[in-house]
Amino acid sequence: MFQKKVKITRIHKEEKKEELDTVLIESSIDIFVNSQPLVNIICLNKDLKELATGFLFSIGIINKMDDINIIKIDNSEAQVHVELVDSIDFNSEILELTPVSRVIDTTCGIPSPWRNLIKERLIETDSILNLEPVLTVSSEVIFSSMIEMQKNTNLFRETGGCHGAAIFDLKGSLITVKEDIGRHNAIDKVIGELLFKKELFDNKILTSTGRLTGDIVLKAVRAQIPIISSLSAAVESGISLADSFGITLIGFARGKKMNIYTHSKRIKL
């Protein structure tokens, strides 16, 4: 269960009345890899297989869906168990994480040990996106994609308590959309969904409702998604990483306006 009805007192103009309102329920989910505890994520208790898969991909433990042998959910213990194929050498001790850094909460930040691990994987795979030949997308595709994402984020419209993320093709066709109380979780879920579908990322657009921080950009770089667009602002860490890795970063994409922070040559009028 990830939502419930609660009694509230609503004041509207000169009227005060008792009503029922829908609120979201946070869950604490443990992810185990090869029976070893890896991380505890505070999230919505839905799309957990996609969340776990996207997270493992983002931090470089897996590179494709075929790296996973079995993934299953234990609802009674609030756990996701992932068993990797024998060719993947994994030991959670190599992460050298403290108990605190093993928890990813709703403040939407990734503790620095995870961030460092992601950067190491990016360096290993030489993940700077090639701008030649230049991939271009119409600004109308960006605008329509943002509208389509908002149409399909039902929990946000109903509760206002979560973030949404979506992935589109370059024509603006929606491939997947997910919601979560954490913006990074929502992005892990859409990345995980594409991994399940065994689709390529390099000709896609990632959209989000949340701030574009360095953590978010690193996830897109890891997936080799060339364009990120959000309803919200970008911050310096996100802009710097997007510029360095060849990502087109777009913020405040609302109505017929947008701010393009990096590599604007990909967006045409």
Query: Which residues are catalytically annotated?
Result: 108
Q: Of 106, 93, 107, give the one whose Cα is nearest residue 37.
A: 93
Alpha carbon dihedral 22, 165, 170, 53, in 10-degree steps, equals: -120
Alpha-carbon span 190 to 167, nearest angstrom: 7
What is the 8-class DSSP label of residue 158? H
> Cα dihedral sign for 154, 225, 227, 82?
positive
Token representation of residue 45: 């208790």
Alpha-carbon span 43 to 252, nearest angstrom: 25
Return the H-helix or E-strand segment holding 246.
none
Alpha-carbon span 152 to 5, nearest angstrom: 21
